[in-house]
Structure 1
């Protein structure tokens, strides 16, 4: 299970780097700061899945869960959302070392 969370963390980190690189290239070419929101990036890549996730959240959780909570996430920069996800997956997959392993007996 730890391997799965570490792998998901790595994938999210790679996606964050790609999104940050795309934003920086667009910022340099526009001579202005350009930050792509997570919602617009998701809408550009797959609008059907965005609507499907919205329907699922509103049906299974509550309409309140989509409007103020998850819609706020959709307005955040893409690279920040993926960095937070990468950190969360890494923290779940992290294993502490035992204190006894570091000392010679």
Structure 2
């Protein structure tokens, strides 16, 4: 059980580090452009590997449900990459936390 909590925590910390990196890159782009620039998760994913993005769309639409791709995943893909990565990282850190024992009060 400790090993699984450790893995969740490490994945969460690495994902939060990627979120910080994406935030710094957005800051650099904003300074260079003299306006606020935030790259979306979809644009970042498309630049890294567009084939896997197309594959994810096909798998979700055909095997899960088309409704999940059209409003839900498109909304997530339009969000800033650093925000999505930070939320996912914090979720994994939360999963890896040590739970307090429940105290029964009489």
Please confirm whether the aligned pair reaches a TM-score higher than 0.5, indicating the same fold: yes
* Other-structure match for 1:103: none
Q: How does 1:90-101 map to 2 (within 5 A)?
A: 90-98=93-101
What is residue 64 of structure 2 aligned with on the other side? 61
- 2:90 counterpart SS class: helix
Match of 1:31 in 2: 34
Q: Given the alignment, which residue of 86, 90, 93 partners 2:89?
A: 86
1:77 counterpart = 2:80? yes
Q: 1:38-90 CA deviation, whole Å, 9 max, x = no partner? A: 00000011000101111111122101100000110000000000010011111
- What is the count of residue pairs matched by the alignment? 100
For structure 1, the 5+ residue unaligned runs are 101-105
Tell me the TM-score normalized by structure 1: 0.89
Any residues of structure 2 matched to 1:5-16 within 5 Å, and which? 5-16=8-19
> CA RMSD, aligned part only?
1.4
- Gap runs ≥5 in structure 2: none
